[in-house]
Structure 1
Amino acid sequence: ICLLKPAQAQDGSAPPSLNGFDGFVEQVMKDWRVPGLAVAIVKDGKVVYAKGYGYRDLKKEMKVTPDTLFAIGSCSKAFTATALAILADEGKLDWDKPVRDYLPDFRLYDAYATAHLRPRDLVTHQSGLPRHDLVWYGSPLTRKELFERLRYLEPSKPLHAKYQYNNLMFMTAGVLIERLSGGTWEEFVRRRIFDPLGMKTSNFSVADSQKMPDFSLPYQEQRGEVKEIPFRNIDAVGPAGSINSSVSEMTRWLLLQLGKGKVEGRQVVSEKGLGEVHTPQIVAGGDLKYDESFYASYAMGWGVTSYRGHPALSHGGGIDGFTSTVRFLPKDQMGVVVLTNSSSPASGLIASNAIDRMLGLSEAPWAQRAKDDAAKAREAQAKARAEDEAKRKKDAPPTHALRDYAGQFEHPAYQTLTITEEGEQLKFDLHGLTGGLKHYHYDIFQVAEGATPLGGIKMAFLMNRAGEIDRVAIAIEPSVKEIVFTRKPAEQMKASAR
């Protein structure tokens, strides 16, 4: 199937600086096996380019258009931060008061962080918590239930000590918006941001996207073949990443950023409020590996850096089968959005190339660098697997019969881990994330590579003094102690099975 036929540009023309851009996009799609994507560019208050490439549905050969809906993943975070800025404009929120002033039931593992964490910290990755993503990923818990379990998650750093990306804190920012506004996060963002910007088809759930006439399916390369995969519903952590949109509607969002909070004469958020959202809050890393790049900071839902000497704000997004990039250069009054239906670096590569062209600069070799980095990563993974295999004690059988490892094990935040014996193999189910376990050595079993987000991870089965397997320890977050799941009592297991 040909993947590369582009839909027509929105206005039928493109800036001369974009001559050859189609060919670049098509080559990136071919290199990374991307079924479909869309690109839009804004400059000086206008949409100068909007185009779809490839297919939103391979099987039915349905083409991507500028109006095709994609999951934008963590590009949703800036919407949540802007919603807080709107509440600050109205005097309902002080960025620097403790979150507990607004959410008395907010509680983290660490008492000091609980008492002193501010709304600003929720949206700048300064909580001290590592990701802890497997608490929510695939979980049936609601937003409220996830919020109530934050107290059981160990931090890896003190409050404000280090930038550590965390989706659950953005979810908590959504809970804060709900308490202050009296409605849901979804209702507030739609009423105060989507509606004023005319973002009519953008929505907050993949369940809603699939009811629309023009939406993309998610795809992933598996064993060398591009396959359609199931949509991942992440409504519970929606404020961190559940928005779905099109490049056509995301241009409205870009124009808001470049217009100091105003679009077509309407002030959606104050210039001061949006300026606060755009202001760096914490050093986020980065390096000087390439001449084009610079050290990075994090503002509120935006990464801030310099690109080839031009101040730039950006964010990427990725959720099963979709990746996205939103980037703008405020001094150049230019922005680009790239939405794809593939788990690949394509969106960032295309955004960088578009910016190079629009700035009239030579094209930096980002595409080749990405291929080189991917090759190095594969080599590193192969080396790590070989080293891990060399450490395995091959004459160290399990201490128990397989049936003794089976059961249900609980953690107050990570929920229930179910281990079953199927034939001569153990299988696991962590709130819907499933896979097989192969024996590693002694009482340690390993998840099959690529099976789930847990692929390759080891589960250590632990004994009590009576010699019974009563716990499972998993290094889900390497920067904190192992997550320990404790066996459910037999009576409790019987009750939950009824």
Structure 2
Amino acid sequence: MLILIPRICLSFILMLLLPAYSFAEVSAKIAIDRYVREIQQSHRIPGLALAIVRDGKVIHRANYGTANIEFDVSVSDETVFPLFSTTKIFSVVAVHQLIEQKKISLDSKLAELLDDLPETWREVKIKHLLSHSSGLPDIVVYENQVENEAQQAVYAQAILFKPGEKFDYNQTNYWLLNRIFQKIAGQSLSNYILTTQFLGAQETVFFEGNHLAVHPHFSVGYNNAGSKLMKRNWHFPQYNYGAAGLNMSMNAFLEWHKKLESGTLLSTASLANLQQAFVYDQARSFAHGWDLIDMDGVASYGFTGGMATAFRQVPQKKMTLILLANAMFIPSAKQTSLDGFVNRLLLMAETLR
């Protein structure tokens, strides 16, 4: 005889049969997926990829939505997203690799490495570039010019404040780091990143500053323009690829993260130096290259880019979150910011193992 069990009773029986932690994990994963889709819809983000790692194990990973609306291509593990300023995560690791090799130090003055600097720039040190406390004018104003013209224009500008005084985010810092790599390492910063942190340029890891370029697996980027979505037509000059311009899939990002966690890319001591808080004259939380973000008394480190991508580590909880999206999280009084979104996801994932 067939016995029909009401759905509520069946759910209760399953709860009793499953270990408590398994039910909590399933509930947390469902809640995370629901929250992601809710934020994705409210910000009108066509597609994104999310991965959360704890103690070397991926505890939550999912792809949401569309990589290309025109051709109805879904986001996959191989979808390549522009990282924007999250590129700096890899550039900072490269700088600390040179420091580990004793080719430069945090206290190296730019004047020791580059001989054509304006007189007022000569006291700036590597640590000031990494902490955005250099006081230098921003070369991004001239990014539509060729490098020589941009260099002459930014060199003609006065330094804004004494190095180390305060935080002032600018892209000149990474343009100078690129020039330092060309001199010290004999190659561009972008090429050094590909050869030392990856296996060279690949289909799912490459530098490309033109977001309308065609590459395999490349996700189309979108901007919200009123009621319409428009293709993102951004461009980053090759001479400043250390600041932005890296494109990557989630698969490639997770493989890189394994290397970072295993000590293949940096020693434990070097990673600790990278995460050491920089002391500004005017207080601001930032480390020697990565942002330092307080999460209710717990330190976290990382970077966001283009209000669309994020990398965040929480060493105390042994957790890392990677988020890649093809449109911007635009904060407002009614909308969650990208940092707020990341913070909540990390909290929601705490029950996962």
Q: TM-score range by the shorter chain?
A: 0.7 to 0.9
Quote the offset at 1:22 in angstroms: 1.2
Give CA deviations for 1:84-135 in whole Å, capped at 9, x if unaligned. 111112221122121111111233xxx34x2211111111111113545322
Q: State the alpha-carbon separation in 2 of the partners of residues 36 and 173 from structure 1.
A: 33
* 1:306 correspondence with 2:294: yes
- Give the equivalent residue in structure 2 for 1:351: 342
Quote the offset at 1:349 in angstroms: 4.2
8 A Cα contact 2:210 2:233, kept in partner: no
With structure 2 as the length reference, what TM-score do the two structures score? 0.83
* 1:326 correspondence with 2:311: yes
- Give the equivalent residue in structure 2 for 1:122: 129
Q: State the alpha-carbon separation in 2 of the partners of residues 148 and 251 from structure 1.
A: 40
What amino acid is the match of 2:107?
Answer: D
Q: Which residue of the other structure, out of 265, 272, 284, is the alignment partner of 1:268?
A: 265
Q: Which has the higher contact order (CA 8 A, sep 6+)?
A: 2
- Give the equivalent residue in structure 1 for 2:242: 239
SS at match of 1:150: helix
The 1:54/1:307 distance shift into structure 2, 3 A limit, reads same
The 1:66/1:284 distance shift into structure 2, 3 A limit, reads farther
8 A Cα contact 1:147 1:172, kept in partner: no
What amino acid is the match of 1:97?
Answer: S
What amino acid is the match of 1:18?
Answer: K
SS at match of 1:312: strand
8 A Cα contact 1:284 1:298, kept in partner: no
Give CA deviations for 1:174-213 in whole Å, capped at 9, x if unaligned. 11111100112222111111239x9862111145994532
1:271-290 superposed matches below 5 A: 271-283=268-280
What amino acid is the match of 1:119?
Answer: I
What amino acid is the match of 2:101?
Answer: E
Q: State the alpha-carbon separation in 2 of the partners of residues 50 and 234 from structure 1.
A: 33
Which has the larger share of helix?
2
Q: State the alpha-carbon separation in 1 of the partners of residues 350 and 202 from structure 2.
A: 28
Q: State the alpha-carbon separation in 2 of the partners of residues 284 and 31 from structure 1.
A: 39
What residue ranges of structure 1 are gaps of 5+ in the alignment?
1-13, 286-294, 362-498
Q: State the alpha-carbon separation in 2 of the partners of residues 301 and 202 from structure 1.
A: 22
Q: State the alpha-carbon separation in 1 of the partners of residues 211 and 327 from structure 2.
A: 20
1:415-430 superposed matches below 5 A: none
1:205-220 superposed matches below 5 A: 205-206=208-209, 210-220=213-223
What amino acid is the match of 2:309?
Answer: S
Q: State the alpha-carbon separation in 2 of the partners of residues 312 and 358 from structure 1.
A: 15
Q: State the alpha-carbon separation in 2 of the partners of residues 34 and 148 from structure 1.
A: 39
- Give the equivalent residue in structure 2 for 1:185: 189
Q: Which residue of the other structure, out of 162, 166, 172, is the alignment partner of 1:162?
A: 166
8 A Cα contact 2:274 2:287, kept in partner: yes
SS at match of 1:21: helix
- Give the equivalent residue in structure 2 for 1:74: 85
What amino acid is the match of 2:329?
Answer: S
SS at match of 1:129: coil
The 1:353/1:67 distance shift into structure 2, 3 A limit, reads farther
Q: Percent identity?
A: 20
8 A Cα contact 1:339 1:347, kept in partner: no
* 1:202 correspondence with 2:205: yes
- Greater Rg by CA: 1
Supply the RMSD in Å over aligned alpha carbons.
2.7
- Give the equivalent residue in structure 2 for 1:250: 253
Give CA deviations for 1:299-337 in whole Å, capped at 9, x if unaligned. 13311132123221121101xxx7211111011111111
SS at match of 2:344: helix
SS at match of 2:145: coil
SS at match of 2:166: coil
Q: State the alpha-carbon separation in 2 of the partners of residues 155 and 170 from structure 1.
A: 16
Aligned residues: 322
8 A Cα contact 2:204 2:217, kept in partner: no
8 A Cα contact 1:338 1:350, kept in partner: no
Larger mean Cα displacement after TM superposition, 296-305 or 159-168:
296-305
What amino acid is the match of 2:267?
Answer: S
Quote the offset at 1:256 in angstroms: 4.3
- Give the equivalent residue in structure 2 for 1:141: 146
8 A Cα contact 2:48 2:325, kept in partner: yes
Q: State the alpha-carbon separation in 2 of the partners of residues 76 and 246 from structure 1.
A: 13
Give CA deviations for 1:406-447 in whole Å, capped at 9, x if unaligned. xxxxxxxxxxxxxxxxxxxxxxxxxxxxxxxxxxxxxxxxxx
Quote the offset at 1:78 in angstroms: 2.2
The 1:134/1:179 distance shift into structure 2, 3 A limit, reads same
Give CA deviations for 1:350-408 in whole Å, capped at 9, x if unaligned. 422220112249xxxxxxxxxxxxxxxxxxxxxxxxxxxxxxxxxxxxxxxxxxxxxxx
1:36-51 superposed matches below 5 A: 36-51=47-62
- Give the equivalent residue in structure 1 for 2:107: 96
What residue ranges of structure 2 are gaps of 5+ in the alignment?
1-23, 331-336
